[in-house]
Amino acid sequence: MEILKKIKHSIARYFLKNKLKKNTRERRFISLEDAKDIGILYLFTNEQDYTAISKFVKLLQDQNKKVKALGFVKQKYLTSRFLPKLSYDFFSQKDINWYGKPSNIFIKDFTEKDFDIIIDMSLHDNYPLQYISGVSKAKLKVGRVGEKNSDIYDIMIKNEKNTKLDKFINEVHYYLSILKSKNDA
């Protein structure tokens, strides 16, 4: 079974690498202050993490940012608590093909949206979220430091082994707040 998992993982990485080569986007450093449209990707694991993401989304919206959050639920089917809301969409395991590629209408809309910044809030490797980040047309892609993330993200933020999501969100917010756009320099 472990061999099959490695084969799937290798095929997934191969497809993502090819997609990244073909992905044309306007790569640009944009400060959080200058960003107008922000996409947030996250793994929905518990209510505490969802609350942390919700607070961050509200903070950005209070700064007049358009924010779209896309959460991945590892369950096969979404329950009523995962129904889409105005700024939030969800996808589940049933939206993932056999080698890990996510696909549904929310994902298609998210990847085609011309975000100024996309932020992957996952604390561990999560291929579906890495894939969405990788194929996104966002000008600036932000995620955590990781061996497999250097081809995907423009800015990578280190997180310690047992970092809680709210602490990681604070780190992301801090670094994006001090970032200056090229026009500001």
pLDDT in tens, the chain (185 residues): 688 777 777 777 777 777 767 777 788 888 899 999 999 999 988 888 888 999 999 999 999 999 999 999 886 655 555 544 668 888 988 998 877 889 899 899 999 999 999 999 999 888 899 999 999 999 999 999 987 788 889 999 988 878 899 999 999 999 999 887 655 54
The pLDDT score that the predictor gives to residue 74 is: 80
Alpha helices in the chain (DSSP H): 2-22, 47-62, 105-112, 127-135, 165-178
pTM summary value: 0.85
Quick one: pLDDT at residue 122?
92
Residue 118 corresponds to which tokens in the numbers above?
């996309």
Kindly report the CATH number that applies to the domain delimited by 2-178: 3.40.50.2000
Rg of the chain (C-alpha set): 16
Local structure of 68: helix, strand or coil: strand
Reported as half-sphere exposure (CB side, CA atoms, 13 A), residue 26 has a value of 6
Q: Where are the domains of the chain?
A: 2-178
